[in-house]
Amino acid sequence: MKFFLISDNTDTQMGMRLAGIEGVVVHTAQEVQTALDDASQNKDIAIVLITKKLIDLCHDKIYERKLTSQSPLIVEIPDRHATSNISDTISGYVAQAVGIKL
């Protein structure tokens, strides 16, 4: 089982590539959808990492897929545009998952 990265910049892609994770760099919602479809077709890919900027670009489509599809697992990761305050990020994840703002 492999990871796959869908990123909006080459810096994130190069960093993940050093860790052995292949991926693509995309910039439009259509490119994100195509890359996600391609990754879903590959049965070796178990986890798809997508940068926050791309999640924000096509939020509804990605979350619909997260709710209806069993594989691959889609995980949002911060990129160079993200804030450095990790507690705000964790609180946001909890609020999104549980529906309660901390």
Supply the pLDDT for residue 45. 93
DSSP 8-state code for residue 4: E
Task: Kindly report, residue by residue over 11-62, the tens digit of the pLDDT.
Answer: 888 988 998 999 999 999 999 999 999 999 999 999 999 998 899 898 888 8
Supply the pLDDT for residue 15. 87
- Global pTM value: 0.78
Q: Comparing 85 with 19, which gets the higher pLDDT?
A: 19
Residue type, position 60, single letter: D
b (16+ CB within 10 A) / e for 47-71: bbbbbbbbbebbeeebeebeeeeee
- Domains, the chain, ordered by start: 2-98 (3.40.50.10580)
